[in-house]
Amino acid sequence: MSEQKLQPLREKIDAIDAQLIDLLNQRARVAQEVGHVKAETNAPVFRPEREAQVLLKVAERNAGPLLGADLQAIFREVMSACRALEKRVTVAYLGPEGTFSEQAVFRQFGHAVLGSPCASIDQVFRDVEAGTADFGVAPIENSSEGVINRTLDLLLQTTLTISGEISIPIHHSLMTKSGKMDGVTRICAHPQALAQCDAWLKQNYPNIVRDAVSSNAQAAVMAKESDNVAAIAGDIAAQTYGLQIVAAHIQDDPHNRTRFAVIGRLQTLPSARDQTSIVLSVPNQAGAVYRLLAPLAQHGVSMTRFESRPARMGAWDYYFYVDIEGHAQDAKVAQALQELKANAAFYKLLGSYPASF
């Protein structure tokens, strides 16, 4: 009886799928026409502001029952596949495969890209600067552990700009070859992952040695090669290296997230939901920082992040990394930035880009 009820519904789904396939290929053909126009003017293949606008419209037009985020994920992959018909973009990231950095690449660009895993954040920057990668993805801040200082230092030094940001939830899992902990004598992970799971590990496996390694993906490789090793990593690492999950979501902070910057040579245009990042320094004088930032309040520009780093050029000199709402081409933002630049001892615009979803 249930089969008789299911059959007409399955036929309806098959008919809808046929329509979807036809519509997707229609979209792809139009995307190819866009690619031809871009080629005539040497315009960039990847336009993050345009893709951000598409994703915003998807959420606005969605009437359910699909969740807006799920529908956006589908459209992100559609855009990725269509973009690849023009050119498959190469993206450098902190490797090896199976890291949260690789997950961030897929979150921003979709899966129709050429991922280029790098041994260090420095190499990510070098590869993009040298032109061997079109873009790079570098971790910039973790909600539990704070900023990634090396990324901030490299952003100060590089000629590259930020053209996007990605914020992803960090869900750590404990994994082994067998999915069990029998015979495991070491739990390996990146130092930050071990710190983020400290309370859970103390409660559940207080007597097993913890070893810090270069990355969670490296820990996954070690677990793949040894029955005595368990790894802490994301689910993407379990899939990549053929491991079984012992326990999922073992991070102490259920809201733990990491923010990544997309770096490249692309200057993005306004998307209607943007963020601008700058670096400033001021003379070591009382009230100097307050006076420097005053134009933001005067022009109604919201500051969303303020971080200081030692300048390492003298006693008690600092660079200030500031994120503000809006695009550098927005009238009020442009006015505020002009005044900031005039009053700062040092000023660098790191980029204006679509804010993460």
Catalytic residues: 258, 260
Q: What are phi and psi of 323, to 5 degrees?
A: -110, 135
Please choose, from the candidates 104, 103, 98, the residue with its C-alpha nearest in 3D space to the C-alpha of residue 242: 98
> In one letter, which amino acid is 275?
Q
Within its chain, how far is the Cα of 318 from the centroid?
27
Query: How far apart are alpha carbons 126 and 118 in whole angstroms?
Result: 10
Are the beta carbons of 138 and 126 closer than 8 angstroms?
no
Query: How far apart are alpha carbons 146 and 169 in whole angstroms?
Result: 15
As a 3-state breakdown, the chain gives helix, strand, coil percent values, each rounded to 5, of 45, 25, 30
Alpha helices in 93-176 (DSSP H): 100-109, 121-130, 149-157
Are the beta carbons of 224 and 248 closer than 8 angstroms?
no
Token pair recorded at residue 207:
């007597």
**Look-up of token digits 């807006």:** 68
Sort 37 into a burial class: Cβ within 10 Å, 0-12 / 13-18 / 19+.
exposed
Alpha helices in 158-206 (DSSP H): 191-196, 198-204
Q: What are phi and psi of 337, to 5 degrees?
A: -65, -35
- Residues with Cβ within 8 Å of 301's Cβ and at least 6 positions away in sequence, in order, are 295, 324, 325, 326, 332, 333, 336
